[in-house]
Structure 1
Amino acid sequence: MKHVTQFTEGWTLRHEDAALPAAVPGCVHTDLLAAGAIPDPYRGENEHAVAWVARRDWTYANELPAAEGHERADLVFDGLDTVAEIAVGGEVLGSTRNMHRGYRFDVTGLAGDLEVRFTSAYTEAEAQRERLGARPNSYPEPFQYLRKMACSFGWDWGPTLVTAGMWRPVRIERWSTARIAGVRPLVTVASDGGTGRVELRIDVERTASGAGQRLGARARVAGAEAEVRFEGDEAVLVLDVEAPELWWPRGYGEQALYDVELTLVSDDDTPLDTWSRRIGFRTVELHQQPDEHGTGFTLAVNGTPIFARGVNWIPDDALPSRITPERYRTRLEQTAAANVDLVRIWGGGIYEDEAFYDACDELGLLVWQDFPFACAAYPEEQPLRGEVEAEARENVVRLMPHPSLILWNGNNENLWGFRDWEWEPQLAGDSWGEGYYLGLLPRVVAELDPTRPYTAGSPWSGSWDHHPNDPAHGTHHSWDVWNREDYTDYLADVPRFVAEFGWQAPATWATLRRAVGADGLAVDSDAMRHRQKAIDGQEKLARGLARHFTLPDDGDFDRWHYLTQLNQCRAFATGIEHWRGHWPRCAGTVAWQINDCWPVTSWSAIDGDGRPKPFYYELRRLYADRLLTLQPRDGRLAVVADNQGPGEWSATVRLRRLAVDGAVLGEAEVLAAAGPRNVAYAPVPDELLPAAGATKEYLVADADGLRALHFPVRDKGFGYPQAEYEVAVEGSDVVITARTLVRDLVLQADRLAPAAVADTGRVTLLPGERVRIGVRGWERPDVEAARAALFCVNGVRSVNGARS
């Protein structure tokens, strides 16, 4: 039987003629940080202080042990970042140039000094750029000239920390006769759902003595068993499972998972190797039929069309070797708790670790996987083309067992970039990646994983017959709003599928306090500016605020911090409420973005320290099965009841036209009956509509514990009363009782304690209403601390406080 030994201990990193202890998995930055040789790049402006690390070559060393008892010994690297040479006893075994692949080297009979010599990624990328010629990208760094995590070179939300190292596990495998080199499980379900089929396509590698020997393969899943005998290097096993339980995304059913076990045996039935994975029985289709609105883009699982409540995912750490299985699980549990059902792995990052996809399988999170190409013209010449194909083949086979994976996507924004970002004249006929997205990658997916759909890019209209980012066709990225418009302009379009859109806000107060220190907590401090990587980002934040609010003129950081986070909530609410209300014409929203890779001002819902921003709670509300909104429909204001749940929702909506002092100016009830996975509308009676431009009245809609609000004018023009409310602390709960209208009240729980987390996001209270906000991680509740952590739009005047 094959014997596997993890080879993660005993490594050293050579630094200035010294040998530092090295962690594997890890990278140069993490090893230097552990040794105290560099400062924390996430603190202050230390990113600049560690830039030299990326320009150096580095060597990792260990002693390769003698391997005995088997015919063959392999040294296996699951991930080398990126350009490396591997040598034993001074003899070079081979070289690597792709972070996204694994590597295997025959070390039979070898032992002694082992070195993994890393060349600076800059050296390789700049050499390829010189050889092939400069090609356009969205950032000045040469990331498209080698197969490495693009955002390692910086992005509009990330630091420039160009890593090197053994970023995934290393092991030694010893085996005889033959081993399992690869398995492709093709999982299908009969059209009537009665039978599931698992077709295992098996590749083996043999030793010299094993060549020509007859082998066997046995497999079982869910009580079904099969066996095959073969003499070549390939075999196929088919297992039929009667009446399997189906795997469903969260909110649609259970996540039934089955263990598949495969054993490779010799002709005399001696076990040689094993392989096991979890699979799920489900179907997935991508509906892209033309209709009166253009060309659709609707995902269907097990025949059920789905409005995708999605988020974009970036690497959860700029130093990705630090992302543990526990961290993946925590972040994805946070994601699922926000009522998300789809996660798009963005193309400037990585193919994530198995732990990511395992968690998605268990949590019912659909996965849209970009191939790692983003925002650049990628050369198609060798050796890059060969690396792209090898990487795609390896990762398609590695990830295809996961039922959560439902879509392969060729790239992020490159087809759009070619058309709109003046790439075509700059390229002057040079290759730029089209051959990957419309040729190589779809061929690889069709050959290896025909059970899943492939789309050439995001955004993509389906063909060059339409503009790549045409909202009427296929996927759409809505970035004009953040870049140059007001978020109310989201209402102007009904895209078929919104794969990216977003609005920025800073990280939580505690995260910023840790990253920049007390002195850095100023709107335009150098430390805060350093955490704004987007072009003109601070100015865009200011312009977005100025459209809606009277800005503090005294440099009040706390007020600015609250308002920018609130504006982020409002922006996402405007878009998602509008687009959800147009289901099934619009079949999904994928918010940019769920997570951060360091402490930064960005579009995220969860900041770089893992703390939820106010937007996180807003996303949870917006992606709940039931969403009640007030929106313009057919030239007038309407109640919209969006029901993405499995049952009927007959909503009796109480409408009240209120004066700012709480006086009821009009009241009525309307019925909005929405069937399962459907939307219902009901016009607001004319007598309840606040007058256009009114500054002292507003409309409230309530139904089944949900609330929607309509204010006729923007905040800076509305005649709010100064907020008055009482604050009490009961146990670890904060209880607020409003004496006046209190608009968008937020408890910033991380101000109470770094580990404190609230269970409630922004809430608007009418006079006399009360809200109870639960707080966990708050060891010493205090009413004064609670009062100081509360913020609202219309000023703050807490009239008393009590603790019980």
Structure 2
Amino acid sequence: MKDVTQLTEGWSLRHEGALLPARVPGCVHTDLLAAQVIPDPFIGRNETEIAWVGRQGWCYAAELDHDSRHERTELVFEGLDTAAEIALAGEVLGRTRNMHRTHRFDVTGRTGRLEVRFDSAYEEAERVRALTGERPNVYPEPFQYIRKMACSFGWDWGPTVVTAGMWRPVRLEHWSTARLAEVRPVVTVDGLPDDGTTTGRVEVRVRVARTERGAGRPLTVRATVRADGPGAGAGSAAGTSQAAEASFTGDEAVLRLDVPDPELWWPRGYGEQPLYGLEVTLADEEEGRLDVWRRRIGFRTVVLDRSADAHGSGCTFVVNGVRIFARGVNWIPDDVLPSRMTPERYRTRLTQAADAHVDLVRVWGGGIYEDDAFYDVCDELGLMVWQDFLFACAAYPEEQPLRGEIEAEARDNVVRLMPHPSLVLWNGNNENLWGFRDWDWEEPLAGDSWGEGYYLGLLPRIVAELDPTRPYTAGSPWSGSWEHHPNDPRHGTHHSWEVWNRQDYAEYRASVPRFVAEFGWQAPPALATLRRALPGERLAPDSPGMLHHQKAEDGNGKLNRGIARHFALPEGDFDRWHYLAQVVQARAVAAGIEHWRAHWPVCAGTVVWQLNDCWPVSSWAAIDGDGRLKPLHHELRRVYADRLLTLLPGEDGPVLAVDNQAGTPWHTTVGARRMHVDGTVLAKAGIPVEVEPRSVARPVLPAELLPAPGSAEEFLVVDADGLRAVHFPVTDREFAYPPADYGLRLETVAGADGDAGARAGEATSFDVVVTARTLVRDLLLQADRLGAGATADRGLLTLLPGEEARIRVSGCEDVTVEQVRAALFCVAPR
């Protein structure tokens, strides 16, 4: 049986003639941070002080000493970042130039000093640029010439922290006769539950590597699918096992297993996520078991329906025969130093996504193919994964040495990720087809290659060959062919950035794209995040640290213009500016989602830019760089819920949309009230509504409920089953809000043992009970102002006079009513 030795200990990093302790997996920055050679790049403007790290070479070393009874020993690097030379006992084993591949070297019988020497990524990129020629991109950094995480070189939300190192595990594999070189399970489903009989089919394609002694020896391979077997783990299905055996033709074999009536894997909100353990065992008669491979799989079908219709050409995910409005978020690397990511951190962040009723996560093409732990959690939570190939916002040369690296990288990662049932789409690139058409690339390219051959040729061929059960699309945005503009909202996927860049968020309602794969609005992170990242700084929108942690072009200008369209722009009041920026972000994203959901099934999904941040920064994220939830996260939980009430502006007044994405009918009565700002009810009605599953109803509002056009004193509120929507005829700065007046009291929450108190110094939970005496719009408790670890379970709240709301606060010690009052904000201050 194959033996594996993890090489995590005994590494050192050479710096200025000295040897520093090194951790593997890790990178130069994490090791220098641990040795206190560099300051934390996330704090203040330290990013600029550590820029030198990415511009020089680095050498890692360890003593390699092994004594194996096996015929072959191989040194395996799961991730080398990026241009590296590997030497053992002074002899070069090989060179690498791709962060996104696994590399393997034969070290049978060899010991001595192992060195991994990394060139500066800048130097490697310049070498490749000299070979291929210049290509345009959107940032002044050479990321398209090196197969490395593009956002290492900075982005409009990320710092420039150009890493080097062994960022994924390193190990020795000792084996004899043969080993499993590649296992590729192609999982399909024949029939669906509505058809009667359903059969899950697993075709396992296996390739082996052999030693000289193993060449030509008869081998057998056995595959077993167990609903409760090895690898099934959390969320596993219940049932029996199926097995198959095969012999090899040369170095390849194919096994086929049928699983009758399998439990189907569904996206969250559509069903359960049963997982099956798949085990593949390699053996020969003389030595018995030689190698084993284990993964979890799931049975489901996925189609991307791109057929033409009266509105253009669609883009609808169909899973197990059910058409889905995708409620998505874009994912960027959660840390600019990705070796710091842990399975626990992946689970935390993805659970936060699931808590916001997200059912699709797009892994964006300027980052990485994430660790298997990421996809494992998505499998368990029912989060569909849209996986970009790693190309973003640039023209990419198609010549060597890049082309060969890109093909090998794609093959590596398609095979690695294809067992995961959560993976529903391969996407060729981010914005490069659009960039070629609209970003003035054609003239400077002058006929040179720019990546089209990857997106329309190489990558779809690889997916069709290796992973034929999943759809592939050439890019995002992409209209399906050059017959239409790449970002045509009537065809395929659309990125909506004109609104954030130049317009009011109300303009989201001007069109109905078929699938909105990117749109978003910025806001600063939580105050506690800012105070940690900018210690000692007197915070202001344009203070030095705030500007350094704002990477978007004219980012603060766009934030200020977004606020000023709706509110008086605060002068000299950072706290109110901070609150209003977060309010506008939440409202902007909600406006888009509410509008596009109301136009289902013409629009079949929204993917918000973005879920997360990789450091503390003002950005489009719903979760800031310290993991704190912005008001946007709470708003996503509202607008991505199965059931949603929306009041949309119409030519003749507000229009009510009642959206039911649940699998059961929604029978309700919508209570509608036209109100005066002083709380007087001017008109009211109960509107019976019946909404079929996965559909939208638009009941007519009686004319007497519509506020007078342009009124600064009337508004409309609708309620049903605990849900609420409001409509104000004018902007907040024009509306005649009274000064907010509300009462506060605090109620301690009993613990699990019924004890209402907390031990000395122990964090506790309590309810903030707010009783409105006037209209209170967009009330927000910024819990981190009560304590850095404090959280609140609700975001923006609009209360009518006489209404009461409870906000659960967790993670802070006892506070006073006045401290809570100081952490509360609303549109009309007290």
Fold shared per TM-score above 0.5: yes
- Is structure 2 residue 436 aligned with structure 1 residue 436? no
Contact kept, 8 Å, 1:216 with 1:269, in 2: the verdict is: no
Corresponding residue number in structure 1 for 2:371: 353
1:127 positional shift: 1.9
Alignment deviations for residues 237-260 of structure 1 (CA, whole Å, 9 cap, x no partner): 111111110000100000010000
Corresponding residue number in structure 2 for 1:364: 382
Give 2:40's aligned amino acid.
Answer: D
Distance 2:260 2:132 in 1: 55
Q: 1:757 aligns with which of 780, 786, 791?
A: 791
- Is structure 2 residue 605 aligned with structure 1 residue 588? yes
1:646 positional shift: 1.0
1:251-330 superposed matches below 5 A: 251-268=269-286, 270-330=288-348
Contact kept, 8 Å, 2:674 with 2:716, in 1: the verdict is: yes
Corresponding residue number in structure 2 for 1:519: 537
1:539-558 superposed matches below 5 A: 539-553=557-571, 555-558=572-575
Give 1:303's aligned amino acid.
Answer: G
Secondary structure of 1:285's partner?
A: strand
Q: 2:509 aligns with which of 480, 485, 491?
A: 491
Alignment deviations for residues 634-688 of structure 1 (CA, whole Å, 9 cap, x no partner): 7542211100111111231111111111011111121232111110011221111
Contact kept, 8 Å, 1:722 with 1:794, in 2: the verdict is: yes
Structure 2: 5+ residue stretches without partners: 227-240, 749-765
Q: Matched residues, percent identical?
A: 69
Distance 1:8 1:686 in 2: 71
Secondary structure of 1:528's partner?
A: helix
- Is structure 2 residue 224 aligned with structure 1 residue 206? no
Structure 1: 5+ residue stretches without partners: 797-804
Distance 1:283 1:519 in 2: 54
Select between 747-756 and 663-672 the one with higher mean Cα deviation. Answer: 663-672
Corresponding residue number in structure 2 for 1:530: 548
Distance 1:520 1:297 in 2: 48
Contact kept, 8 Å, 1:149 with 1:350, in 2: the verdict is: yes
Corresponding residue number in structure 2 for 1:219: 223
1:105-504 superposed matches below 5 A: 105-192=105-192, 194-222=198-226, 223-268=241-286, 270-504=288-522
Corresponding residue number in structure 2 for 1:800: none
Give 1:668's aligned amino acid.
Answer: A
Select between 191-200 and 631-640 the one with higher mean Cα deviation. Answer: 631-640
Distance 1:312 1:205 in 2: 38
Corresponding residue number in structure 2 for 1:100: 100
1:232 positional shift: 1.4
Distance 1:44 1:551 in 2: 26
Give 2:158's aligned amino acid.
Answer: G
Secondary structure of 1:750's partner?
A: helix
Distance 1:306 1:3 in 2: 45
Alignment deviations for residues 113-168 of structure 1 (CA, whole Å, 9 cap, x no partner): 00000000000101222232211100000000010000000000000000000000
Give 2:661's aligned amino acid.
Answer: Q
1:231 positional shift: 4.9
- Is structure 2 residue 11 aligned with structure 1 residue 11? yes
Distance 2:84 2:143 in 1: 17
Q: 1:689 aligns with which of 706, 719, 723?
A: 706
Give 1:166's aligned amino acid.
Answer: M
Distance 1:208 1:132 in 2: 40
Secondary structure of 1:460's partner?
A: coil
Distance 1:407 1:484 in 2: 31
Corresponding residue number in structure 2 for 1:659: 676
1:556 positional shift: 0.5
Distance 1:167 1:66 in 2: 23
Corresponding residue number in structure 1 for 2:754: none
Give 2:745's aligned amino acid.
Answer: A
Give 1:755's aligned amino acid.
Answer: G
Give 1:660's aligned amino acid.
Answer: V
Distance 2:89 2:640 in 1: 58
- Is structure 2 residue 811 aligned with structure 1 residue 771? no
Contact kept, 8 Å, 2:192 with 2:320, in 1: the verdict is: no
Give 1:268's aligned amino acid.
Answer: E
Distance 2:426 2:487 in 1: 18
Contact kept, 8 Å, 2:54 with 2:161, in 1: the verdict is: yes
Distance 1:528 1:256 in 2: 46
Secondary structure of 2:154's partner?
A: strand
Contact kept, 8 Å, 1:125 with 1:145, in 2: the verdict is: yes
Select between 87-96 and 778-787 the one with higher mean Cα deviation. Answer: 778-787
1:572 positional shift: 0.5
Give 1:522's aligned amino acid.
Answer: A
Distance 2:447 2:739 in 1: 63
Corresponding residue number in structure 2 for 1:802: none
Distance 2:819 2:80 in 1: 48
Corresponding residue number in structure 2 for 1:603: 620
Secondary structure of 1:683's partner?
A: coil
Distance 2:110 2:150 in 1: 36
Contact kept, 8 Å, 1:312 with 1:593, in 2: the verdict is: yes
Distance 1:588 1:338 in 2: 15
TM-score (norm 2): 0.95
1:520 positional shift: 4.1
1:373 positional shift: 0.2
Corresponding residue number in structure 1 for 2:28: 28
Secondary structure of 2:556's partner?
A: helix
Change in CA separation of 1:634 and 1:237 when aligned onto 2, cut-off 3 Å? farther
Q: 1:613 aligns with which of 604, 614, 630?
A: 630
Corresponding residue number in structure 2 for 1:90: 90
Distance 2:262 2:815 in 1: 51
Contact kept, 8 Å, 1:639 with 1:672, in 2: the verdict is: no
Give 2:67's aligned amino acid.
Answer: A
Secondary structure of 1:576's partner?
A: helix
1:192 positional shift: 3.9
Aligned residues: 795
Alignment deviations for residues 196-243 of structure 1 (CA, whole Å, 9 cap, x no partner): 011100010000000000000011113111111225110011111111
1:615 positional shift: 0.4
Corresponding residue number in structure 1 for 2:827: 793
Change in CA separation of 1:633 and 1:583 when aligned onto 2, cut-off 3 Å? farther
Contact kept, 8 Å, 2:332 with 2:612, in 1: the verdict is: yes
Alignment deviations for residues 753-804 of structure 1 (CA, whole Å, 9 cap, x no partner): 11111111100011111110001112223212211110000012xxxxxxxx
Alignment deviations for residues 317-343 of structure 1 (CA, whole Å, 9 cap, x no partner): 000000111100100011101100000
Give 2:607's aligned amino acid.
Answer: V
- Is structure 2 residue 711 aligned with structure 1 residue 699? no
Aligned-CA RMSD value: 0.9
Change in CA separation of 1:620 and 1:89 when aligned onto 2, cut-off 3 Å? same
Contact kept, 8 Å, 2:653 with 2:706, in 1: the verdict is: no
Distance 1:269 1:307 in 2: 53
Contact kept, 8 Å, 1:729 with 1:781, in 2: the verdict is: no
Distance 1:635 1:144 in 2: 51
TM-score (norm 1): 0.98
Contact kept, 8 Å, 1:696 with 1:719, in 2: the verdict is: yes
Secondary structure of 1:398's partner?
A: helix
Q: 2:767 aligns with which of 712, 733, 739?
A: 733
Alignment deviations for residues 557-581 of structure 1 (CA, whole Å, 9 cap, x no partner): 1000000000001101110000000
Q: 1:743 aligns with which of 777, 784, 792?
A: 777
Distance 2:653 2:743 in 1: 38
Distance 2:259 2:687 in 1: 50
1:518 positional shift: 4.0
